[in-house]
Amino acid sequence: MRTAVLASGRGSNLQALLDECSNGSLPIEIVGVGSDQPGAAALERSQAVGIPTRVFQVSDYPHRQAQEEDILIWMRENRVELLLLAGYMKVLGPQFIRQANFPVMNIHPSLLPAFPGLHAQRQALEYGVKVSGCTVHLVDEGLDSGPIILQEAVPVLSEDTEESLAQRILEVEHRLYPEAVRLLVLGKVVRTGRRVQILQQEV
Ligand code: GRF
C-alpha cells in the first residue's frame, strides 16, 4: 500500500515504521515523508534510507489551507493510499480530511479521549492518573478525536517525570503504531460509525 508519512520532529515513530518495513513485517511502501519543519530529524531519517522528502512550511504559503492543498497535490502525485501522522504537530483542517480519499491514521501518547492535544504526558501527570498509555486512531475533523483502532496502557509511577513517562509510553508507541497499520493494511480494521472492530480471523 502506497503510504505517506507527515512528521514535524525527531521521527522516532517514523523510524519504527521504516524498520518494520525493511524487515518485511509491515506490508506498506513509504513513498514519501513530508514535514512542516525544514529541520525535522524525521526528514534525515527518510533521506538516510532513500525515501523522498518534501517540506511544507506554513510560512511559505498565503494561508494554512494553501499548505494543506499542496500536501494533497503531493499525495495525489504519489498515488498515496494511506497517510500516517507521526508526530505531525498541526491539526489537519476539515477540508483536507473531507478531500482525502484514503485513510489517515495518527498516534497519540495518552489513552484517548483523555488528554488530547499538546503535552499529553504532562497533562496525565498533572491530573494524577495512575495509568496512561497510547492510542492509534483514524483522523477525523476534530483534535485527536477519531475512531480508536488500538490502545495500550502504561502505568504512571509516583517518581515519573514528564520525560520518563514520555519515554516509557514511546517504547509502546513504537510497537503499537506498526501493529495498527498492519491490521489496517490486512483488512482487519472494520469501522462502523465511531466504533472500530478488529477482526481476529484471517481475511
Ligand atoms: C509521539 O509521542 C507521538 O505519540 C506524538 O508525537 C510524538 C512524536 O514523537 N503524536 P516522534 O517524532 O515520533 O519521535
Convert the pLDDT of each residue in 46-88 to its tens digit. 999 999 999 999 999 999 999 999 999 999 999 999 999 999 9
Q: pLDDT confidence of 200, banded at 50, 70, 90?
A: confident
- Residue entry with cell 488530547: 116
Question: Tell me, what DSSP letter sits at residue 52?
Answer: -
Element (H or E) spanning 178, and its range? Answer: helix 162-185
- ipTM (interface predicted TM): 0.99
Pocket test for ligand 1, best of 5, 8, 12, 13 (most atoms within 8 A of CB): 13
Structural domain spans, the chain: 1-102, 106-203
Instruction: Indicate if ligand 1 lies below 6 Å from the C-beta of 173.
Output: yes
Q: Which three cell numbers stand for residue 136?
A: 492509534
* Segment 114-164, tens digit of pLDDT: 999 999 999 999 999 999 999 999 999 999 999 999 999 999 999 999 999
Per CATH, 1-102 and 106-203 having the same topology is answered yes
**Residue of minimum CA distance from atom 10 in ligand 1:** 87
Beta bridge partners of 196: 191
> How far apart, in whole angstroms, are the C-alpha atoms of residue 13 and residue 159?
26
Whole-number average pLDDT of the chain: 97
Q: Report residue 19: phi and psi, to 5°.
A: -65, -40
Question: Tell me, what DSSP letter sits at residue 32?
Answer: E
Residue-level pLDDT at 128: 98
Nearest of 105, 88, 111 to residue 183 by alpha carbon: 105
Q: How far is CA 53 from CA 40, 75, 76, 186, in A?
A: 11, 12, 15, 26
Instruction: Indicate if ligand 1 lies below 6 Å from the C-beta of 110.
Output: no
Is the peptide bond between 27 and the residue preceding it cis, with omega within 30 degrees of 0? no
Ligand 1 atom nearest to CA at 170:
2
Q: Which three cell numbers stand for residue 91?
A: 491539526
Question: Tell me, what DSSP letter sits at residue 147?
Answer: P
**Residue of minimum CA distance from atom 1 in ligand 1:** 87
Q: pLDDT confidence of 95, banded at 50, 70, 90?
A: very high
The fold adopted by the segment(s) 1-102 is Rossmann fold (3.40.50)
Q: Count the alpha carbons within 13 Å of 22 in the hemisphere toward its beta carbon.
A: 11
Contact 137, 105 (CB under 8 A): yes
Q: pLDDT confidence of 10, banded at 50, 70, 90?
A: very high
The fold adopted by the segment(s) 106-203 is Rossmann fold (3.40.50)
Catalytic residues: 108
Ligand 1 atom nearest to CA at 10:
12
* Segment 165-176, tens digit of pLDDT: 999 999 999 999
Q: pLDDT confidence of 180, banded at 50, 70, 90?
A: very high
Residue-level pLDDT at 201: 66
